[in-house]
Structure 1
Amino acid sequence: MDYNATAKQILAGIGGKENINTAWHCATRLRFKLKDDKLADGEKIEALDGVITVVNSAGQYQVVIGNTVEKVFAPLAELAGLENPDNQEADVADDGKKESIINKLIGFISGVFTPFLGAMAGAGILKGLLALFLSLGWLTEKSGAYQIWYAAGDGFFYFLPILLAFTAAKKLKVNQFVAVALATALVYPALVAITSSSQTINFFGIPVIPTTYTSSVIPILLAVWVMSFIEPVLDKVFPEAVRNIFTPLFLLLIMAPLTLIVVGPLGAGIGTLLSSGVSAIYNFAPALAGALMGAFWQVFVIFGVHWTFVPVMMNNIGKLGYDPLLPILSVAVISQAGAALGVFLKSKDSKMKSLAGSSVATALLGITEPTIYGVTLKLKRPFIMAAIAGAIGGAIAGGGQAHASSFTLPSLLALPTYLGNGFTSVVIGLVVAFVLGAVLTYLFGFSKQQLKNDETINATVVDQDGQESIISPVSGTIIPLKNVKDEVFASEAMGQGIAIVPTSNIIKAPVSGTVSAVYPTGHAIGIISENGAEVLIHIGIDTVELNGQHFKTLVKQNQKITLGEPLVEFDREALRSAGYDNTVMLIITNTAAYRIEDTEETMATDSNWVLKLTQRNTENQNEYRGEVKHV
């Protein structure tokens, strides 16, 4: 994959750098806030090498890349002239668009947690491993190794308000270091000691409610939000010459007592209410809660609303000391890995098989976007099978009342954090979800039509700019072009190519590109691929005489098309009954600009070129090979 070329093509596909308001990336996606979503060509971007899919959700235009997203983002940031080419959302001027409250909330939460999500997951796993080491007797709580590692893992969560203050201030465009100073006041050791002992202090006679803010989430987020209203007012009050000193000074003078007296207790109260609500629902019917979250968690991920659960889960750990949702979410994640394995075992398409195989590993490690968008959701049925498996596995984990002692990404790596109450149930739930996801997908995850359309790449056209794959436009048996009963095609006067005796009535796009010609009779269609290959698909011999009878064109001239998109519907048996040869020809009309190759074996021949083609018959697993030589 050429990361520079992909970045350049993505930038063009979203409407150029002039259409970007904000650009950043997370673990698997390029995320944009565009000035005009209509200028972006999602189909064109999806067809690019290395792009899994495109999602326009929660006010963000997202291009799903997978684990190599950072390598694509770096050249894109340079091409777009981004001032802050990192994985955080850049500061941009308000474009005047109205955004829904839900989208704003989701955008705020994702912007706050995304920058340190990896570090937080690592710290959570470390705490889980230390718990495992204690239970196995490998370490003791008094050992120096345990204390040092525990400080590294637990310290992240203990001082979490400081990290949240920094990222929230960046998101809300206020002074990050003042926000951090405010957060340090909340976790200042002397104040923590006072509140922990339930002592009461007052601020000029106003009592301060004793509340502990270490490991808390909501209080500091509320405090920075309030600060975002006060800071602009202070900036207007103080002249520019003294603003850099006096604005921070008065912010601290105002916000520290306001947070400790009002905002902090209010946030703590909201957190307690959320935790109590989650606990009440979960305790009422834990198996049902597990089934629902196991089934629908990946749906939440698709729409981006999963971010709203992050502060709730972290708040549960801070308030209750555990979270009941995280083990269930791991079950939902692992069910996707199982479905991907089912696709890997069942599919005969080499590209899908390769993508599904790699997606199993990434999903087991907690990264499901490549699995969802590239495999299960793309094929539809496997996603449903994974949801069913997730529901059953989630019911088992929920019914056993499994808990997470620390926050980390839902995955197999999180298992040590589930030690304790319900650990056996979550292990059983994970195994059931994985195995059932694979079995259900293998047995019921494919329609007969999808299996028939599972085809290998038949030819590869290569030019100086790179490689482009051309697949067969129709299911059937490949024959050498020279055997076609039409001298014009057989002599290759129109160009080199292949011929197929069809077993299907649907002609599909052999490549992504633009429809260059649609014949009124429907018997032929021209395509120009994105890399410049000129492809002609001709259905039958002398079928122009039918004047469109038995043909139905499904696309229009100049229409953008993607690989595999239906182009023409025809009745192959009716053509044969009418006395016409129904052989389908695929011709590269600008053959002179290309060389055609397939394998190393092909390139080793003495001929100027050899086109070796393979067409799998998915019903009997036999292969037909045809060679066309040009000397």
Structure 2
Amino acid sequence: MEYQALAKDILAHVGGKENIVSLVHCATRLRFKLKEPLRANAEGLKQNPGVIMVVESGGQFQVVIGNHVHDVWQAVRSEAGLSDETPVADSAGEKGNPLNQLIDIVSGIFTPFIGILAASGILKGLLALAVVCGWLATDSGTYKIWFAASDALFFFFPLVLGYTAGKKFGGNPFITMVIGGALVHPVMIQAFEASQQAGAAGDAFLSIPVTWFNYSSSVIPIILAAWVSCWLEKQSAKRLPSAMKNFFTPLICLGVTVPLTFLAIGPVATLLSQMLANGYQWVYALAPWLAGAAMGALWQVCVIFGLHWGLVPLMINNLAVLGHDSMLPMLLPAVFGQVGAALGVFLRTRDARQKMLAGSSVTAGIFGITEPAVYGVNLPLRRPFIFGCVAGAIGGAIVGFSDSHVYSFGFGNIFTIAQMIPPGGVDATLWGGVLGLLVALVLSCVLTMVAGMPRRAAEATPVAVNAGENDVLSPMNGSVLALDQVPDATFASGLLGQGAAIIPADNKVIAPFAGEVASLFATKHAIGLLSDSGIEVLIHVGIDTVKLDGKPFTAHVKVGDKVQPGDLLLEFDRQAIIDAGYDLATPIIISNSDDYRDVVTVAATAVQAGAPLLCVSHQ
């Protein structure tokens, strides 16, 4: 229930549940596909304290939440009435940018199980480490059970991909999952093994020769087969009488698609997979260090815009066809370049809030979640992000030159080191990968500490300021409350910015300076303002009052309106909020606190509307 308010606000800013075509999530982001993208209000959503960033890319409206994205995803689905069986759009049939279509299809197919995919890869890497260190023997029962746990997803990829691809293409996912099961059925694997024996007789389907392949761990064949099955399902559903659809539509899909996959789709897709893997190997072999430098420099840029999904199938395909992948190790320096930059900010800054944010970002980044470091620390300061990319390029070049590989899929994180251990044991390729990671981490940290932050931005000592354009007046009458005393962890932590809170004594909110209305929540419980001098202020009336759906609130301005100090912005029913059981504490936050040296509360324990409340000091 703690995420329901956030879910309501997200739904309001994406245009309502009726504007949602599909919703999935990855490690840190909600990924919406919207019917009418222009109805979404990205700027308004960015003002929500539970949202790190909003990115519109790849045909998706991406809301960066953080590590608790799964809980928010469930809350949004519950609030919008979306179920597991909610159909999604047939992306293959939509008009638009081909790159956006590709990214949308790939993310829709792989996102639902990306977490377990990463966990399986990490477990495989840890098993390899245990064998190299002599802790486990490959013929032991312990090893076999854990190996089965780590390898099951990869071996049965066609089943899992069949299900998610079926949902993505708008068909019955259980039909496409059964098609995937047919590809890895023991009878089919035995047929493949028999065909490999010298002099084995060929098989035929209705007199048509069959070329057997081992489709376990394969990616492209089942995705193409799922698309064909979903198309066939839709055509059959249009033409069959309603009384026959439930039985004959699946019968037609299985009876036609499975043979077609073994006769044509599978062999063609397998050839395509091999060409893709060999083509990548050919390009990589031309200049491994250059490939590493490019990936190390640009990977985080791709992540920001959600374009990295276009490379995920290539990595998985390399593992399926070649048994190893060289792309993932080259991305590791890109990850740790941003981690090192955030670490540099942590070591350099004297600002308590910035230090706390940078420290938590480093911890998350070590485990492969870089959004907090990128969006919360490095990008706002600009230079740390650039230094992270530069260090990532140098580290990536070292990794590429060392010819490092991984032997299972996962996120780029500290556990990737274990996944880089070759089957034959530790060698120079592993140490080259570790060296590239460390170079990126240390170099970006040192560069950030030396030149990544303006001297004044790193200091936290308050200085005297002049009244005037730096003043933020009190928007209401009431009692002043220190921000860390607000009964809401997000506001109290200072994550959204520095400021103060007021327990209102009346029912009016006035403009605290000359400026304009930058944002106004649909529920009218919160308003964002931008002063003529560049100060951004968020006024949030009460705690969790978004749940009141705007009933006690009346707005007297709209987004874009110019205001002068004292102009009436909002009115609210103070008693109704109290009767509903909500706290009246109203945070007044300087949203762009990072742009200033300090934010000082100048009011006493009580304040009158229009009297000085906060004062900011310039860098």
> Is the aligned partner of 1:382 residue 2:380?
no
C-alpha contact 1:20 1:33 (8 A) present in aligned 2: yes
Q: Cα deviations across residues 212-241 of structure 1 (Å, max 9, x unaligned)?
A: 211110111111112222222222343221
**Matching residue of 1:553:** none
C-alpha contact 1:343 1:356 (8 A) present in aligned 2: yes
**Matching residue of 1:195:** 192
TM-score between the two structures when normalised by the length of structure 2: 0.75
**Matching residue of 1:542:** none
Q: Cα deviations across residues 439-493 of structure 1 (Å, max 9, x unaligned)?
A: 11222223467558998999996699976989789xxxxxxxxxxxxxxxxxxxx
Q: Cα deviations across residues 145-204 of structure 1 (Å, max 9, x unaligned)?
A: 111111111122111111100100011111222212211221122221222342432112
**Matching residue of 1:162:** 159
Counterpart-to-counterpart distance in 2, 1:288 and 1:270: 26
1:303 shift after superposition: 2.0
Q: Paired residue for 1:426, among 416, 423, 433?
A: 433
Counterpart-to-counterpart distance in 1, 2:245 and 2:137: 52
**Matching residue of 1:139:** 136
1:532 shift after superposition: 4.9
**Structure 2 gap segments, 5+ residues each:** 464-469, 475-479, 500-507, 521-526, 543-556, 575-587, 608-619
Could you tell me which amino acid in structure 1 is paired with residue 81 of structure 2? L
**Matching residue of 1:573:** none
Q: Which stretch shifts more, 131-140 or 19-28? A: 19-28
Could you tell me which amino acid in structure 1 is paired with residue 438 of structure 2? V
Counterpart-to-counterpart distance in 1, 2:244 and 2:601: 80
Counterpart-to-counterpart distance in 1, 2:453 and 2:243: 69
Q: Paired residue for 1:361, among 360, 363, 367?
A: 363
Q: How does 1:94-105 map to 2 (within 5 A)?
A: 98-105=95-102
Closer/same/farther in 2, CA of residues 306 and 626 from structure 1, 3 Å limit:
closer
Q: Paired residue for 2:273, among 262, 271, 284?
A: 271
SS in 2 for 1:174: coil
C-alpha contact 2:90 2:168 (8 A) present in aligned 1: no
SS in 2 for 1:419: coil
**Matching residue of 1:213:** 215
Q: Paired residue for 1:116, among 113, 119, 132?
A: 113
Closer/same/farther in 2, CA of residues 72 and 509 from structure 1, 3 Å limit:
farther
**Matching residue of 2:321:** 319
Closer/same/farther in 2, CA of residues 325 and 458 from structure 1, 3 Å limit:
farther
**Matching residue of 2:70:** 70
Counterpart-to-counterpart distance in 2, 1:393 and 1:164: 34
User: What number of residue pairs does the alignment pair up?
Assistant: 533
**Matching residue of 1:151:** 148
Closer/same/farther in 2, CA of residues 56 and 208 from structure 1, 3 Å limit:
same
Counterpart-to-counterpart distance in 2, 1:617 and 1:91: 41
Could you tell me which amino acid in structure 2 is paired with residue 102 of structure 1? L
C-alpha contact 1:272 1:319 (8 A) present in aligned 2: yes
Counterpart-to-counterpart distance in 2, 1:213 and 1:292: 33
Counterpart-to-counterpart distance in 2, 1:9 and 1:391: 39
**Matching residue of 1:443:** 450
> Is the aligned partner of 1:309 residue 2:318?
no
**Matching residue of 2:540:** 531
Counterpart-to-counterpart distance in 1, 2:535 and 2:149: 62
C-alpha contact 2:52 2:376 (8 A) present in aligned 1: yes
Closer/same/farther in 2, CA of residues 57 and 236 from structure 1, 3 Å limit:
same
Counterpart-to-counterpart distance in 2, 1:119 and 1:517: 44
The percent of aligned pairs where both chains have the same amino acid is 40
Counterpart-to-counterpart distance in 2, 1:217 and 1:454: 57
C-alpha contact 1:161 1:220 (8 A) present in aligned 2: yes
Counterpart-to-counterpart distance in 2, 1:510 and 1:349: 29
1:19 shift after superposition: 3.2
C-alpha contact 1:123 1:154 (8 A) present in aligned 2: yes
**Matching residue of 2:477:** none
SS in 2 for 1:412: coil
Could you tell me which amino acid in structure 2 is paired with residue 104 of structure 1? Q
TM-score between the two structures when normalised by the length of structure 1: 0.74
Q: Cα deviations across residues 51-105 of structure 1 (Å, max 9, x unaligned)?
A: 11111111111111111223333333333x3221x6x9853699x9743222111
Closer/same/farther in 2, CA of residues 93 and 146 from structure 1, 3 Å limit:
closer
Counterpart-to-counterpart distance in 1, 2:140 and 2:255: 43
Closer/same/farther in 2, CA of residues 366 and 527 from structure 1, 3 Å limit:
closer
SS in 1 for 2:88: coil
Counterpart-to-counterpart distance in 1, 2:515 and 2:456: 13
SS in 2 for 1:23: strand
C-alpha contact 2:293 2:393 (8 A) present in aligned 1: yes
Q: Paired residue for 1:371, among 363, 370, 373?
A: 373
Q: Paired residue for 1:340, among 315, 339, 342?
A: 342
C-alpha contact 1:115 1:167 (8 A) present in aligned 2: yes
Closer/same/farther in 2, CA of residues 527 and 426 from structure 1, 3 Å limit:
closer
Counterpart-to-counterpart distance in 2, 1:138 and 1:177: 41
C-alpha contact 2:349 2:459 (8 A) present in aligned 1: no
Counterpart-to-counterpart distance in 1, 2:397 and 2:337: 13
Q: Cα deviations across residues 101-156 of structure 1 (Å, max 9, x unaligned)?
A: 22111111111111111111111111111111111111112111111111111122
Counterpart-to-counterpart distance in 2, 1:382 and 1:517: 26
SS in 2 for 1:409: coil
Could you tell me which amino acid in structure 2 is paired with residue 39 of structure 1? R
SS in 2 for 1:22: strand
C-alpha contact 2:511 2:569 (8 A) present in aligned 1: no
Q: Which has the higher contact order (CA 8 A, sep 6+)?
A: 2
Counterpart-to-counterpart distance in 2, 1:410 and 1:147: 26
Could you tell me which amino acid in structure 1 is paired with residue 12 of structure 2? A
**Matching residue of 1:280:** 282
C-alpha contact 2:26 2:114 (8 A) present in aligned 1: no
RMSD value over aligned CA atoms?
A: 4.3
C-alpha contact 2:58 2:103 (8 A) present in aligned 1: yes
SS in 2 for 1:61: strand
Counterpart-to-counterpart distance in 2, 1:253 and 1:626: 77
Q: How does 1:467-486 map to 2 (within 5 A)?
A: none
> Is the aligned partner of 1:173 residue 2:180?
no
Closer/same/farther in 2, CA of residues 317 and 65 from structure 1, 3 Å limit:
same
C-alpha contact 1:333 1:368 (8 A) present in aligned 2: yes
C-alpha contact 1:397 1:426 (8 A) present in aligned 2: yes
Closer/same/farther in 2, CA of residues 170 and 472 from structure 1, 3 Å limit:
closer
Counterpart-to-counterpart distance in 1, 2:445 and 2:218: 39
Closer/same/farther in 2, CA of residues 411 and 586 from structure 1, 3 Å limit:
farther
SS in 2 for 1:49: coil
C-alpha contact 1:339 1:386 (8 A) present in aligned 2: yes
